[in-house]
Structure 1
């Protein structure tokens, strides 16, 4: 089983566990200075070393890049923190990166974020998000440390001042996650997701600061910063590859932004300027999609249409996110010129094991086909889920299977994003 499949099975069995998110400190230095082969060997050797420190019954695997996850069943946050601290000390004192020819062995350190499954956690994503937030705390405090989700919750660094400084210093940047055509694996779009780049270079995910931003009523400023940068990137891509059809770029819009018409006007002005810079092709292609959830819109779809009118008049497309999470979504299909439906992620995550979830998605796809809409399944984490979705006729997919959000690395539009999934398909 893959790590994702193990996590899905644990939740299906309703078992408790602690999650250790382990990151190699300054791994980029190892990779850049000693080469990728040396970096790969470090990953292999360190993973074996950590496995030796874990108690029996634990699961362990590589998560992404130079991050690993350890799953400890039926344990408390305090016990998991103690275990993580033991592992950190063992690595610091006992692991030597000694595969470098005649060079002296190099000491490697790790940072660990720890979380535990809460009763309300229906899936593994929130558990990982809390561990990721704790890991950020550990690295922010100087690396070679352990931090727990409780440490994160006690922290005060997610304040209006922190977000304000990120905006002023242009450290609020978009990360792009690919969206692929399920039938072929080709990248057809991406979604711009907000990140704060810490002064130490680490990235703070949106899950950590967007709720605070909403409560502070400054989410509209984050939206404007991210959308403006994404628009500029879109124009640069068109200029760099004239004559090609650009991929779509999905941009999230919050309720807070919809309440600030002047901010919307500024976004449209930036889009118009970018269109002028890259000529008529960009001006006619309009490869930007405004993505908004049902709960972000007002109750009256006709009032929502008035709010979204500036985007529509400029020629941008509309996507409804989390479709299937509420009954009134269908009213928006009736009254709004929607082009894309992003299927509620909870349905996608349950499609492998629950026939009802599969039937609901099949029904959504049937409606989309009749209305000539493009469907996008979110949270696609494994190949079996992707195949089921493709069999049901779902058009596009997004999730960790196809790629995690990345900074300034647009996915190529000419090759399958996950080739093994499509080998043998006609």
Structure 2
């Protein structure tokens, strides 16, 4: 429907009926208010008449009252008679039910009869009554018990005419309630002196109200005509100022064609009332043109092929990349479907139509292969194209060539999971597949293989020759592994092999043959043949589902044990082997040690060292290390020192021990001149970067004399790091520290080292001291060590002194100091007292028959 038709429909269907409804409502309002006003005026007029009538009756009572005062005066009687006659009033005296007329008037029998019936009057009163059909106004006064004075007036038609001197009254008369018959009259009750109630019947003239109602109707008709005329004028104005310009604007809008390459704008000339609207439409048109141009440029610029299809999967647009990819031209599309365009069957068209029918709002990605001039793997992104109301009107397909990308992914996947040298799984892929590989196996043998002498090939022959050897070993492993085995390269010269559902004997037999076959592999370099051996650790389990990583860890530890056994050995992991358990738990111990260092949780103990000659000026004691375990257990160093050495944590441990020992000494300043504390330095700490500077800084920070501190190093660590140990000992000697060589004799002892090293004490290893009282060879060894040290000016300390007999033998030899349970057991450093010298003497007497104990002996930190 056109806008002009809508406006006309609005005027005829809404405005005109609304105008009639308004006029009708106004007319009803006027009628209601006129009727209400008429009722109000009639009530006021009725009240006025009633009041006038009552006043006239009251005047009769007052005349009777005045007349009673002159009742016995004949002269006054004559004056009253003339006055009463002028007023048309008659006076009667009712005495003992006898009525007597006073004055010259005649007594009407009907009136006399009606008055004589008034024998029950009150003291005074006034009102109306009927004497047969004659209405009377009566006023009376009681003179005595049975004597009344009554004044009456006949209510004639002239009286009623005079009473209704208003514009609304037409007729008045006095009636009884039985005479009410005409409802259009008004009836007002009046005061009566008889028992019969009387009403005043009032008839009003309706002419004035009818005239007022007619005038109102005329005015409303005029208002209706005027309203219709105004509505017509409004319609004419709307048609000229709105409808005609809007019709012209509509024509221009309908003339716009969005499919044209160049969109025309709307001419606002003559339509200035719609300038804002036309400007907005022109902005939209220009924006649409810009968006179309931008979309076209964007589609032509992107690298992917874009194909737009309608609801029937017919191609409507292709960007240049799609034309190049599919080798077609847009001009030759001619409403071809995408399936026909790609020379595929109708399944692609059906799939596209099904996707559009689903109305999915998600982008569907899928990789498809197109048999174009060369096979391509394309990533197809499909999304629905919707109109402004959300209905699917087509689809957009974006094609991206991912052939090279997929090939690169395969290469990267192979590189991420396959070892480039051997073609086996790398460690990451091996561990990832391990859990699934052993999930349902009855027995599992996880073998950890470590090549021997492989480093020699790499160092002498180069990495290319080493890689060739790895390739040969990998071929041997593949030959023995079989289809059911899992094989991978775990490190530089380490391999992992998983054998399922074979008994331990069969596994051992297979690995033995594999070891022999690996040893047969030869690589030549400069005329020299090189071979490798292989150490194999096996973690074997059956009937249970082991943790894959824990199983691999057990195999690794078993491989370490196999290396210790010799060349090309096979070792099966045994959970009852305590040494293997220590190595297996070494990472956990390393973590606990690191946490203890960070939280200052390392505990220091001490064990006294007693001078056997009693000539020493200082009380000597050795600092021992303990670790706080679970349930407040104190763990000896044998359980965690190996883990700390394996993971290179000993320098940090030694630093923490030095810090705590120096801090304790700083709190014992009263005895610094009479005490000497021995602190152990590990092999890893000898020559460690910054260790010497740290000791000097701590010494200066705690302000301690270096003479009260002795550093101990083991014979083995000194031999392993001879040059570094010698340099560090010389620097410590320059700082004023005393030095001791611990566990002398347990390793490859050489008296020549004693001459080179600037040491003050030699601690003879307990393996010689423990049986010195019963073993002549041990006695001779200890004596020889003491004699050499005495010649060099080095004092000796015997370890593991556990009985009085041992002390006697040491005294015979002349050893300077003794350390062991007979001297004193290890105790917390915080419990140390300066009276330990006396305690040591007392312990010597009390433990003359002490039983040797070896488990709790102090182990150097």
Bin for the TM-score computed over the shorter chain: 0.5 to 0.7
Structure 2 counterparts to residues 345-360 of structure 1, below 5 A: 345-360=766-781
Cα RMSD between the aligned structures?
2.9
Distance 1:200 1:240 in 2: 36
Contact kept? 1:179, 1:398, Cα under 8 Å: yes
Q: Distance in 2 between matches of 1:371 and 1:150?
A: 40
8 Å Cα contact 2:710/2:738 also seen in 1: yes
Give distance in 1, aligned partners of 2:789 and 2:802: 23
- 8 Å Cα contact 1:185-1:415 kept in structure 2: no
Q: Which residue of 2 aligns with 1:374?
A: 795
The answer as to whether partners of 2:713 and 2:740 remain within 8 angstroms in 1 is: yes
Match for residue 717 of structure 2 among 288, 296, 300 = 296
Q: CA deviation at 1:364?
A: 1.4
Asked whether the equivalents of residues 687 and 724 of structure 2 are also in contact (C-alpha less than 8 Å), the reply is: no
1:165-188 Cα offsets, whole Å, 9 max, x none, are 111121112111111112349882
Q: Is the 8 A contact 1:177 1:193 kept in 2?
A: yes
- Structure 2 distance, partners of 1:150, 1:293, is 22
TM-score, length of structure 2 as denominator length: 0.29
After superposition, residues 34-113 of structure 1 pair within 5 angstroms as: none
Distance 2:766 2:588 in 1: 27
| Correspondence list, 1:250-399, <5 A | 250-275=678-703, 282-283=704-705, 286-298=707-719, 301-399=722-820
Distance 1:207 1:299, change over 3 A: closer
Number of equivalences: 268
Q: Which moved more, 1:150-159 or 1:397-406?
A: 150-159
Q: Deviations along 1:332-377, whole A, 9 cap, x unmatched? A: 2111111001001100012021101111111111112222211100
Decide whether aligned partners of structure 1 residues 311 and 351 sit closer, same or farther in structure 2, where only a CA change above 3 A counts.
same
Mapped to 1, the partners of 2:728 and 2:615 lie a distance apart of 35
The corresponding residue for 1:220 is 651
| Partner Cα separation in structure 2 for residue 332 and residue 339 of structure 1 | 13
Number of the residue aligned with 2:485: none
- Secondary structure at 1:261 match in 2: coil
**Long gaps (5+) in structure 2:** 1-575, 847-861
Greater shift, 158-167 or 376-385, is seen at 158-167
Instruction: Tell me by how many angstroms 1:410 deviates.
Output: 2.3
1:151–1:335 CA distance, 2 compared to 1 (3 A) = closer
Question: In 2, Cα distance between the equivalents of 1:271 and 1:256?
Answer: 21
In 1, the alpha carbon distance for the partners of 2:724 and 2:577 equals 44
Larger Rg: 2
Equivalent-residue separation in structure 2 for 1:300 and 1:216 (angstroms):
18
Are residues 1:206 and 2:637 paired? yes
Larger relative contact order (CA 8 Å, sep ≥ 6): 1
Give the alignment's TM-score, normalised by structure 1: 0.57
Match of 2:164 in 1: none
Aligned counterparts of 1:296 and 1:318: Cα–Cα separation in 2:
14
Q: 1:225 to 1:152 in 2, by over 3 A?
A: same
Give the aligned partner of residue 41 of structure 2. Answer: none
Distance 1:156 1:217, change over 3 A: closer
Tell me, in whole angstroms, the C-alpha distance in 2 between the residues paired with 1:348 and 1:150: 26
Distance 1:391 1:158, change over 3 A: farther
**C-alpha distance in structure 1 between counterparts of 2:597 and 2:725, whole Å:** 28
Selected match of 2:613 from 180, 183, 198: 183
Q: How far off is 1:263 after superposition?
A: 2.8
Alignment match of 2:592 (pick from 162, 166, 169)? 162
Partner SS state of residue 360, structure 1: helix
Aligned residue for 1:410? Answer: 832
Once the two structures are TM-superposed, the CA of residue 157 in structure 1 deviates from its matched residue by 8.2
In the TM superposition, what are the counterparts of 1:24-35 in structure 2 within 5 Å? none
Q: C-alpha displacement at 1:301, in angstroms?
A: 4.4
Superposition deviation, residue 226 in structure 1: 0.8
Give per-residue Cα distances to partners, 1:139-167, cap 9 Å, x unaligned: xxxxxxxx996997576784322111111
2:742/2:764 contact within 8 Å kept: yes
| 1:171 match | 601
Q: Residues 372-415 of structure 1: CA distance to partner in whole angstroms, max 9, x if unpaired?
A: 21110001111111121122111111111122211122253441
1:158–1:209 contact (8 Å) kept in structure 2: no
